[in-house]
Amino acid sequence: MVRIILTLILFLLSLVNFFPVPSKETWYAGIAVPEFPWIFMLATLLLLLWSFFSTKYRMPGLIIGIITFVLLSTPIIRAYMVGNDLDKRLSESFGVNSNDMKGFHQQKPFSFIQMFTGNGAKKIPFATYHYAVHEGVELTLNFSPSSIGGVRPCLVVVHGGSWTRGDNSEIAAVNNYFANAGYQVATINYRLAPKFHSPAPQEDVHAAFSWLRNHAGELKIDTNNFVLLGRSAGAQIVLTMAYTGNENGVKGVAAFYGPNDMLWSYDHPDNMLIMDSRQVQRDFLGGTPSEVPDRYLAESPLLYVTPQTVPTLLVHGKVDAHVYYEQSVRLAKKLDENKVKNLLLTIPWGTHGCEYNLNGPAGQLSMYTVERFFYAETQMVK
């Protein structure tokens, strides 16, 4: 009976590859199961062997186990499927030539072996700098220098956390990855809600840009080649900055599963078992849409798309229960309508934070795509 119960638990866990997680507590399973699939597949295989050599409940154990094993393997299968036409899509969207592929840090969209061997990025120490003091808050950034010498493009990374929490240590492996890929990488902290409301994050990112420009000589930053990357709330911040901030030298923005239309978000709240998303928005913006309508408009980058908007890469999981996939679909459509270079990388099994493991299926696809996007827009010399 224990064997059957364990197999059923794994079967239920496998369903996160197809359906949004039902609660905040199960969200971690939504990240772990598809991005560390081999662990759960191995556990299922052991249970299958146990069933095979058992006499009691043998057939039910085998049937449920086989179905579970197949379901758990689907992120791997679908990662290969997504990767099959990724080079073509990148070429059509951003003009990345397949002949350039040998110069990139990650050579394939997805590799089964990489889940075990890693992406080969070497550990690069970062330095912490104080870039501004706003309303008594001392703001810092972590700077990871490029592994390639000389003046290099600069990647500015903004963390998520519903505008209320988190810091620039979020998924630090991404910062290290792009330092290995040849970028100067600055990951910033910003003032958090509910103590500070919009437009505090925008003011802080502007201050970070000023500091980076003022120290470009010593940090070897090419100030004509900035790119932005943000996740969740950080994605909303970098999209707003890229579309409305008028910072010189911004060549592209990569946004992971971010809200981009605050009014639409308020009208389409999360499952309350996941998060009280309306309260989160009120904390960030300082009130409801009727109380502070200008802030809801100002923090909705979708509303500011024009033919002059910077090239944009969107990454979003289809089963995201925190920020609905529809958000990125709507933004991609608006970018298409304005003939702005863009690509929406859809992770069919992905939930919020799906790229947490850079060597998992979503992590590999994401890094492969973002690196080539940045390469195309900065015209970086490898």
Facing residues of 345 across strands? 315
How far is the C-alpha of 284 from the C-alpha of 279, rounded, in Å? 9
What is the DSSP-derived secondary structure letter of residue 372? H
Residue pair 151/220 in contact by the 8 Å Cβ criterion? yes
Q: Residue 100 has what pLDDT? A: 62
Residues 309-345 pLDDT 10s: 999 999 999 999 999 999 999 999 999 999 999 999 9
- Taking the CB of residue 330, how many other CB atoms lie within 10 A of it? 15
The domains of the chain are located at 2-82, 85-378
User: What pLDDT was estimated at residue 57?
Assistant: 74
Identify the pLDDT of residue 382: 47
Q: What digits encode the pLDDT tens for the residues 157-210?
A: 999 999 999 999 999 999 999 999 999 999 999 999 999 999 999 999 999 999
The pLDDT of residue 102 is: 61
DSSP assignment string, 92-144: HHH---GGGGGGSS--SS--TTHHHH---PPP---EEEEEEEETTEEEEEEEE
CA 108 to chain CA mean position, Å:
19
The rounded distance, in Å, linking the Cα atoms of 148 and 126 is: 15
Q: According to the model, what pLDDT value does residue 60 have?
A: 84
Options 3.90.550.10, 2.60.40.420, 3.40.50.1820, 3.40.50.300; CATH for 85-378 is 3.40.50.1820
What is the structure's pLDDT at 132?
Answer: 97
- Give the per-residue pLDDT at 97: 76
Helix ranges, 200-314 (H):
200-214, 216-219, 233-244, 262-267, 277-285, 293-298
Provide the b/e sequence for 199-211 (b: ≥16 CB within 10 Å).
bbbbbbbbbbbeb
pLDDT for res 11: 97
99: buried, middle or exposed (CB in 10 Å: 19+, 13-18, 0-12)?
exposed
Task: Please name the amino acid found at residue 40.
Answer: F
- pLDDT at site 1: 77
Low-confidence ranges of the chain (pLDDT < 70): 55, 98-103, 380-382
pLDDT for residue 305: 98
**What pLDDT score was predicted for residue 255?**
98
Q: How far apart are CA 220 and CA 242, in angstroms?
A: 22
